[in-house]
Structure 1
């Protein structure tokens, strides 16, 4: 009930935004953007994401803001809200669906109940080990076209997908085999597939809000957590964890989406500019996230006593084998369409690695 009341309050507090941008009919007659900017008030679009300022999602959002404001000659102003300012990830998704905000970045963990098929990105050892190929795959594969339609059915128009980096484990002990996870309380997002993935290793998956992970580690309420390197550094998890395992078992994937009614309200010209700005942000973020994760890894090494454990191929193979039954769980949990998307993605992965 409290969550519903919070969402309702946020919707009401943001509804004024729609008055300024709802139909966006300024370009319906195909006029140029410079003339529109002079003849009408500047419209403001709200863009929410699920990470802190300076993160991968924030850099993506800021790049999109820069591009769309330039492409529209200032006729559009984008207001970016990081996590916490408009609620947590789940709250932001609800606001986006309801049309209280226009744009957002989410991830499978927060949107998985609305688009259950997207939980396939929570499966381990699924995407290519090469980040460039992974980035290409999530934007160009036939499986993603199928998944994009599922998002549209849930009132979200996908404008781009992007890997944020490989997920790494941290813990109060070294984890180099599935047996090391026995009884290990690992913080995860609230996703059945994520939970099942860690149960397959013998771990005890424990959903905790992102902003509460540090204190939970500090108080020994959990034994470890999983995140990309940049998040581990910016949230200072290295201060309360002794080991980081370079496990590369999964890639954290972000999804840039627009509310479908907002998207439909835009003129063809402005839609094209929005997509152009999104494509520019997508091209930019590949190098940006690589640099950010590499820089943050060096920062952890320089500023902490955390031991970095790089898993061998043999060790990763043991985890990969243990994780395979979770693919069957994914299909059983989410049905025939989920199975078709998974099968197609596996074919796309095989094709891109040849």
Structure 2
């Protein structure tokens, strides 16, 4: 991040702190502060806007939304939420995993289904997500309001590949997530943890050779301009979580707690509608804008070579998380098996 951006971010945080200090009791504040990791019109922003609209329609409260970069990177907005400066935050387990190791389960490759119907059914009905995860977040000072999928992960790289050998020694950007680093190491690449704001420049200057993200974010951040080879490996979906500062939430009256839960449920349903067809449309726009873009979709045989390496990542997850992670993984697989039977 350059000096100008840093000054702007610090100024924004200072104003936010000042605003928070003018409220005698944050739990009773009429204006609630909500930050997320994405740009205007992206999936997290759609969720946040629908959350805001529901709150403001059904109460006298207002919600102030801060988008990507306004208050810093993902780690910054989480720190501000845990400190009580922000009331709500959206953050991917890709970043939260450093604090709550068990949420890295979403980065075990090929654990999640690949089609949207099964993914959505899983999020709606999963015991792991709806019962186990809230306890893990609560232990870290966060009230989990809900988790939702944003889109299939797509790898962009300087040279298209169809096998793990094609990723050998490629420097791949990863979120600050130990298990995601283990995934790309298993795939043969060299993981390079970087904050989101540094990815474009790192690709442009060949500090890294590639990265992964859902296709709408690849479009939104114009990453295809500097990393034009898109590879669909079917290895996972990008997941995010909406959270509240637990001290703030616990002090609320029951009617406000219910209001927030209802707003979160409403926002989830709106996001599911929004992401339907979103990936295909984003890819079409990318291809229309840049004729250097290539698209590679691995076939089942090619995918099997990556799946074979994914087994060691699952074992790494258990090593990182111990019995709690092992039990969570068992529940996760049980939930996924139930999804298979529903379809």
Structure 2 length-normalised TM: 0.92
Write the distance in 2 (CA, Å) between the matches of 1:337 and 1:132: 28
Write the distance in 2 (CA, Å) between the matches of 1:13 and 1:91: 13
Instruction: Describe how 1:30-69 pairs up with structure 2 within 5 A.
Output: 43-69=30-56
Residues 258, 139 of structure 1: alpha-carbon distance in 2 compared, 3 angstrom cutoff: farther
Asked if the contact 1:187–1:213 (Cα under 8 Å) also holds between the matched residues in 2, the reply is: yes
Instruction: Describe how 1:5-84 pairs up with structure 2 within 5 A.
Output: 10=13, 13-14=16-17, 16-17=19-20, 19=23, 22-24=26-28, 43-72=30-59, 75-84=60-69
Residues 113, 15 of structure 1: alpha-carbon distance in 2 compared, 3 angstrom cutoff: farther
Within the candidate set 212, 227, 239, 1:253 is matched to 239
Q: Deviations over 1:1-39 (max 9, x none)?
A: xx9xx99x9489426336266232xxxxxxxxxxxxxxx
Within the candidate set 321, 334, 337, 1:334 is matched to 321
Aligned match of 2:263: 277
Asked if the contact 1:90–1:110 (Cα under 8 Å) also holds between the matched residues in 2, the reply is: yes
Asked if the contact 1:11–1:95 (Cα under 8 Å) also holds between the matched residues in 2, the reply is: no
Asked if the contact 1:20–1:43 (Cα under 8 Å) also holds between the matched residues in 2, the reply is: no
Matched residue SS, 1:245: strand
Please state if 1:141 is matched with 2:126: yes
Within the candidate set 81, 85, 89, 1:100 is matched to 85
Structure 1 length-normalised TM: 0.89
Aligned match of 2:338: 351
Write the distance in 1 (CA, Å) between the matches of 2:56 and 2:124: 24
Matched residue SS, 1:85: coil
Write the distance in 1 (CA, Å) between the matches of 2:326 and 2:76: 28
Aligned match of 1:320: 307
Q: Deviations over 1:40-72 (max 9, x none)?
A: xx8100000011222111111011111111011
Write the distance in 2 (CA, Å) between the matches of 1:162 and 1:154: 20
Asked if the contact 1:157–1:259 (Cα under 8 Å) also holds between the matched residues in 2, the reply is: yes
Aligned match of 2:96: 111
Q: Identify unmatched segments of 5+ residues in structure 1.
A: 25-41
Please state if 1:126 is matched with 2:111: yes
Q: Identify unmatched segments of 5+ residues in structure 2.
A: 1-5
Shift of 1:116: 1.0
Asked if the contact 2:73–2:197 (Cα under 8 Å) also holds between the matched residues in 1, the reply is: no
Aligned match of 1:29: none
Residues 139, 155 of structure 1: alpha-carbon distance in 2 compared, 3 angstrom cutoff: farther
Asked if the contact 1:21–1:43 (Cα under 8 Å) also holds between the matched residues in 2, the reply is: no
Write the distance in 1 (CA, Å) between the matches of 2:17 and 2:90: 18
Runs of 4 or more, structure 1, over 6 Å off, are none
Within the candidate set 67, 72, 88, 1:87 is matched to 72
After the TM superposition, which of the residue ranges 198-207 and 130-139 deviates more from structure 2? 130-139
Write the distance in 2 (CA, Å) between the matches of 1:16 and 1:235: 30
Shift of 1:353: 0.8
Q: Deviations over 1:196-235 (max 9, x none)?
A: 0010011011112211111111111111110000011111
Aligned match of 2:150: 164
Write the distance in 1 (CA, Å) between the matches of 2:163 and 2:180: 18
Write the distance in 2 (CA, Å) between the matches of 1:172 and 1:23: 49
Q: Deviations over 1:151-190 (max 9, x none)?
A: 0110111111100101000111112111111011111111
Asked if the contact 1:20–1:44 (Cα under 8 Å) also holds between the matched residues in 2, the reply is: no
